[in-house]
Amino acid sequence: MSVWSRVRMLFNAEVSSTLDAAEDPRTVLDYAYNQQQELLMTLRRGLVDVATAKQQLEQEAKRLEQRIPQLDDQARRAVAANREDLARVAIERKWLAANEIEGLNKQIAEVDAEKQRLAGQERQLQGRVEQFRTHREVVVARYT
């Protein structure tokens, strides 16, 4: 090991030691606690976004479900009027709407699973934040 690397290592050790002595654990713990709080709030916003997305998907599926009887009625009226071409178009639209409803229901199930996963993570993180808060208060009390 060269002289310069040893001097540099010694200097770095002294600077680190001085900074450690000057560092107030209360501010470090407060900063860490605030970071955890922000993470928890971000997770909660994500949970709200997922719930909103699920609700929008459910509304779209409901709208399509209401449209199916109308398309069925259009097909019947077209057949009664001897307009098989219009009846075929109405039946195709009905079939497309039913397929879209099926796809939306799959998406709703996936979003619901994601919502449940995020809710579990939110509960875990909330518990960890509470544990850290308690630990922080103990350390601050000892330091004070």
> How distant, in Å, are the alpha carbons of 54, 64, 75 from that of 98?
19, 8, 15
Structure pTM?
A: 0.70
Contact 75, 94 (CB under 8 A): yes
Tens of pLDDT along 95-133? 999 999 999 999 999 999 999 999 999 999 999 999 999
| DSSP string of 47-68, one letter each residue | HHHHHHHHHHHHHHHHHHHHHH
Those residues with Cβ within 8 angstroms of residue 40's Cβ, 6 or more apart along the chain or in another chain = 122, 125, 126, 129
Rounded to 10°, the helix 84-143/25-80 angle is 170
Separation of alpha carbons 10 and 95, rounded Å: 77
Does residue 18 register a pLDDT over 80?
no
